[in-house]
Structures are given as C-alpha cells and as structure tokens.
Amino acid sequence: MSAAGARIGVITFPGSLDDGDARRAVRRAGASDVALWHGDADLHGVDAVIVPGGFSYGDYLRCGAIAKFAPVMTEVVRAADRGMPVLGVCNGFQVLCEAGLLPGVLTRNSGLHYVCRDQWLRVENNTSTWTTRYEAGADLLVPIKHGEGRYVAEEPVLDRLEGEGRVLFRYVEDNPNGSRRDIAGITDERGRVAGLMPHPEHAIDPLTGPTDDGLGMFLSALDSLVAA
C-alpha cells in the first residue's frame, strides 16, 4: 500500500468538535481522510479509525457513555478486534474506555476546572502503531483542553499497564488533571488501539500549534499501514 492509498476514517458524532482537525492531520501526514458518520454501521473500507475530541451527545450521562452505543462504534469494536488501528483523542479516549477497548475511565479533573493549555508529555512507549516515529523518553508539547481527563483505574490494572509497557505518554512538569501515575495515554495489549487526552491533531504545524510534535502519531500509523 502507498501512503496516498491509506484511508483513515474520522468519526463525527453529534457534538464532535475536532473531527475536522483530525482529518486535516491525516491529510498532513499524507494519507486520505474518510468521513465516518455516527449513525452508519459502515466503516467504508478504511484502514484505520480516529475517534476525535469534542462533546459527543453533549457528554450527557457521562463522557462517551452514549457514544459507545452508536452504530459506527459497533463496527469499530469489531474492526479493532481484528487488529485495525484505532486512536481515541480526548473525548475519543473516553469513548474507547466506555466501549471496553481500553481499560479504566476518565473522570472529573481533580481541580474540578476545565483546563485548556499547552502541556509537556513524555513518550513512554515508542513501539505501538501510533508512536513509532518518536524516541522513547522524548518530551512533546501538545495542547490539552478537557474537564474530565483524570485517568483512573484499579491498582492491579495500573500495575498491568506499567508492567506490560502500555503507558504511551505521561504528563511531565505537572499533572493537569490528577490522572493516576501521571498517565496521559495508553494502548491495548497489541499496541494498535490507543487513547490519550492531549490533542496531537492540534500540534501538526508550528504555524497553528505550539509545535508539530503531534504529527508523529499520524505518521507512525501511516508507516504501519504502508508496511502491512
């Protein structure tokens, strides 16, 4: 497969905010972006899926709790089980946790305030589908914007994530939301489904973001698809 032939779908839910930015990031990386609608039980033959940030279904009940029942998510779960790369960003991370594709849950920030700023992250795992373009231990500057980004899981789950190297990113310098063990992003056992609260799609060009540090996630996925 050529880079231009890789098709990465981006879901739009009612209340999605960053779907357009995610599609732009896909194009910036050199792949073709495909719009996916929440009400369609069809992934239209894409090679990977991004569940973007925003406020799906108004964040009613709990962030991501309604979105997990969308027809498109049934297909995402099936595709992920077959090994398709899936990335959840911010609200998308919440949706993936609610859908059972990733462990744990995202809760109210410890300070009970919405946080919007640029945030330093450290790359903990550079072997996943979404992080191979980074060096382990590299520091990245990426925007965050969320009110319910505190990652929480039971101690045995956290120990397993740490022991299996499934923590992708960790907050450095300070923890903006009280996430357990400073966790900013994680992956599944195969390293193909990933979720993080920071927004890599807002850091793909230093002209419009603080850096282009986030572009590596989309380039990493594209590398994986081309090599497959």
Whether 25 maps to a domain, the answer reads yes
- Pairwise CA distance, residues 103 & 123, whole Å: 19
Q: What is the mean pLDDT of the chain?
A: 95
Report phi then psi at 107, rounded to 5.
-120, 180
Whether 106 maps to a domain, the answer reads yes
Mean local confidence (pLDDT), 42-65: 90
- Pairwise CA distance, residues 210 & 198, whole Å: 13
- Pairwise CA distance, residues 214 & 133, whole Å: 10
Per-residue pLDDT at 2 exceeds 70: no
Encoded tokens for 85:
């790369």
> Which is the catalytic residue, given 98, 124, 148, 201?
201
Whether 187 maps to a domain, the answer reads yes
Residue written as token pair 């498109």: 72
Tens of pLDDT, residues 17-39: 999 999 999 999 999 999 999 99
Q: Is residue 116 among the annotated active site residues?
A: no
Mean local confidence (pLDDT), 79-108: 97
Q: Are 214 and 202 in contact (CB under 8 A)?
A: yes
Whether 113 maps to a domain, the answer reads yes
Whether 59 maps to a domain, the answer reads yes
Per-residue pLDDT at 1 exceeds 80: no
The DSSP code for 13 is -
pTM for this entry: 0.96
CATH number at residue 189: 3.40.50.880
> Which is the catalytic residue, given 38, 146, 199, 202?
199
Structural domain boundaries enclosing 124: 7-227
Whether 1 maps to a domain, the answer reads no
Q: Is residue 148 among the annotated active site residues?
A: no
Count of domains for the chain: 1
> Which is the catalytic residue, given 90, 98, 146, 148?
90
Q: Is residue 154 among the annotated active site residues?
A: no
Whether 15 maps to a domain, the answer reads yes
Per-residue pLDDT at 117 exceeds 70: yes
Measured N-to-C along each axis, helices 215-227 and 19-29 cross at an angle, to the nearest 10 degrees, of 60
